[in-house]
Amino acid sequence: MPSPVRTSAAGEGLRARRRRETEHAIHAAAVRLVEELGLAGVTVDMISAAAGISQRTFFNYFPSKESALTIGPPPLPDALHRRLAHGDPAPRVTLTELLDVLSAHITDDVVPDRELVQATFRIADRHPELRAALHARFDAFEEQVREAVAERMATAPADPRPRLLTGIALAVTRTALEQWSLGTAGDHASPEPDLRQCVDLLHTLMPKT
Amino acid sequence: MPSPVRTSAAGEGLRARRRRETEHAIHAAAVRLVEELGLAGVTVDMISAAAGISQRTFFNYFPSKESALTIGPPPLPDALHRRLAHGDPAPRVTLTELLDVLSAHITDDVVPDRELVQATFRIADRHPELRAALHARFDAFEEQVREAVAERMATAPADPRPRLLTGIALAVTRTALEQWSLGTAGDHASPEPDLRQCVDLLHTLMPKT
C-alpha cells in the first residue's frame, strides 16, 4: 500500500514535466506576440492572457517578459546526468560519448519545435539585451555539462580537459541546431539528421595524429 | 617618386596601432578604477582623467563606460585574414591551420596583459550586462573568423563546415586563454604554452576514425 506522504519518482517527474509544458506555453505565447507586435508592444499581461494563465502564475515562471523570450536548453535530466557523471569506464569520457548524451538530450527532451526556435533566435538577434540573456542560459547549460564531465574524470580544477571537451561538443551541437532551425541542410522535423551530419563532419575536420 | 597623396600601408598600420594603444589605455584605466571603486562609483570623467585623455576623446573610442570595460579580441589583422581567406591549398582549411592562425593572433596582437584579462573577466562575472557585452565582442570576432574560413572554402552558405571549424577552434583558444589568465597550469607571461597544451590535448580527445 503506498504511503500517503510518498511522492514517487514518477510523480516528481510528472510535476517537472508539467512545469516545463507551462513554461513552454508561456514562451511560445511571448514569442508569437513579439513577432507580431514588436518587443515594446507586448506586456506580461498580454503574454499571460495568450498563454491562458494569470499574471501571478507568469511570475512564478519568469521574472520578466524578457526572460520568457529567452528560455535556453533545459537542464540535463537526471538519467543523462548520471550516465555522464558516473558512467563506465570512469574516468575516461570521449567526445563521442559526450556527443551521444547531448544528442539524446536534444532529441528527447528539447521540444523540437523548429519554428519556435527560429523565431526565438530571430528576436534575440534584433535585441542585444535578449541575445545576452540567451547567452547566459547557454552558459549555464555548458557549465552543468562541464561539471558532470569533471565529476566523471575526477580531475583537479586546473585540468583543462572537461572545459575543452564540453566546449567542442557544444560547438558541434550548436552548429547542428542552427542548421536545423534554418533548414539549410534539408527540412527536418527533428534535429537528429543535422546532429548526425555534424558529428560525422567532425571526423573529417580533425587533425590526424 | 612617391605621390604626395599616398598614405602608405605602414602609415595606416601605425595609426591603427596607436589607436589600439589608446583604446587599451582607456580600458586598463576603466578596469583599474572599477576594481577599486565598483562599477557604480566610476564615471567616464574619472576614466578619462586616469587615462590622460579628454572626455571627448573617450567618446571617440567608446560609447559608454560599460563598453570601455568589455573590449574583446581585436579583429584579425590583414595579414592573418589573408592567410586564412586566401591561403594554400584552397579550398581546404584544417583545424590545425586555423589554430595556428588564432595562436599567432593571440600571441602577437592581443596585448598579453594577464592581470588585465583576469580583472576584465572578474568584473564581467559580477555584472550580467557587462558579461553580455563581452559575449557580443567574442561573437563578432567568431563571425569574422568564420567568414574568412567560408571565403577560403568557397562553400554554399548552407555548408556547416566553416561554423563547425570556427566553433571548435574558438572553444580550444577560449579554454587556453582562461587557463592562462587563471594561471592554473603554471604562471606564464604569455598564453603560448597554454595554447600549445590545449592544442595537443585536442588530439587525445578526438574520436578515432
Q: What is the pLDDT of residue B169?
A: 93
Residue B74: phi, psi to the nearest 5?
-65, 155
The CA distance from B48 to the nearest CA of chain A, in Å, is: 26
Q: For the domain covering B1-65, report its CATH number.
A: 1.10.10.60
pLDDT tens digits, one per residue of A72-115: 888 888 889 999 999 887 778 888 889 999 998 888 766 568 88
What does the alpha-carbon distance between residue B126 and residue B121 come to, in Å, rounded to a whole number?
9
> B158–A176: do the CB atoms touch at under 8 Å?
no
DSSP 3-state of A26: helix
A171-191 exposure pattern, b = at least 16 Cβ within 10 A, e = fewer: bbbbbbbbbbbeeebeeeeeb
What does the alpha-carbon distance between residue B175 and residue A161 come to, in Å, rounded to a whole number?
9
Q: What is the pLDDT of residue A1?
A: 35
- Give, in order, the Cα–Cα distances in Å from B175 to each of B52, B97, B201: 34, 18, 11
In the structure grid, which three cell numbers stand for residue A194, read together? 543535422
Same fold, A1-65 and A70-209: no
Sign of the Cα torsion B141, B147, B150, B151 reads negative
Q: How many Cβ atoms are within 10 Å of B18's Cβ, its own excluded?
A: 10
Asked if A3 is an interface residue toward chain B (Cβ–Cβ < 8 A), one would say: no
In the structure grid, which three cell numbers stand for residue A146, read together? 562541464
User: For testing the chain A interface, which of B164, B197, B209 should be mutated: the one with the most A CBs within 10 Å?
Assistant: B164
Domain borders along chain A are 1-65, 70-209
> A172–B168: do the CB atoms touch at under 8 Å?
yes
- Give, in order, the Cα–Cα distances in Å from B44 to each of B34, B58, B74, B151: 11, 8, 22, 40
Sign of the Cα torsion A134, A135, A136, A137 reads positive
Determine the residue of chain A that is closest to B156 in CA distance.
A184
Asked if B107 is an interface residue toward chain A (Cβ–Cβ < 8 A), one would say: no
- Give, in order, the Cα–Cα distances in Å from A113 to each of A14, A27, A100, A121, A125: 21, 12, 21, 13, 19
Q: What one-character-per-residue DSSP string does chain B give? A: ---TT---HHHHHHHHHHHHHHHHHHHHHHHHHHHHH-GGG--HHHHHHHHT--HHHHHHH-SSHHHHH---PPPPPHHHHHHHHHPSSTT---HHHHHHHHHHHHHHTS---HHHHHHHHHHHHH-HHHHHHHHHHHHHHHHHHHHHHHHHHT--TT-SHHHHHHHHHHHHHHHHHHHHHHTTT---SSSHHHHHHHHHHHHHHSPP-
Residues near B52 by beta carbon (within 8 Å), at least 6 away in sequence: B25
Select the residue of B128, B135, B175 nearest A163 (Cβ to Cβ): B175
Query: Which value, in Å, is the radius of gyration of the alpha carbons in chain A?
Result: 19
- In chain B, positions 165-184, which contact chain A (CB-CB < 8 Å)? 165, 167-168, 170-172, 174-176, 178-179, 184
Determine the residue of chain B that is closest to A184 in CA distance.
B158
State which residues of chain B have pLDDT below 50: 1-10, 209
In the structure grid, which three cell numbers stand for residue B65, read together? 563606460
A:B CB pairs within 8 Å: 112
Query: Class of the B70-209 domain?
Result: mainly alpha
Select the residue of A135, A171, A197 nearest B171 (Cβ to Cβ): A171
Asked if A140 is an interface residue toward chain B (Cβ–Cβ < 8 A), one would say: no
The CA distance from B159 to the nearest CA of chain A, in Å, is: 8
* Closest to B110 (Cα-Cα) out of B174, B167, B160: B174
What does the alpha-carbon distance between residue B81 and residue A17 come to, in Å, rounded to a whole number?
48
Asked if B63 is an interface residue toward chain A (Cβ–Cβ < 8 A), one would say: no
Residues of A in contact with B152 (CB under 8 A): none
Q: How many Cβ atoms are within 10 Å of B132's Cβ, its own excluded?
A: 21
> A167–B171: do the CB atoms touch at under 8 Å?
yes
Q: What is the pLDDT of residue A207?
A: 59
Asked if B64 is an interface residue toward chain A (Cβ–Cβ < 8 A), one would say: no
What does the alpha-carbon distance between residue A15 and residue B134 come to, in Å, rounded to a whole number?
37
- In this predicted complex, what is the ipTM? 0.76
Q: What is the pLDDT of residue B119?
A: 92
State which residues of chain A have pLDDT below 70: 1-12, 109-112, 207-209
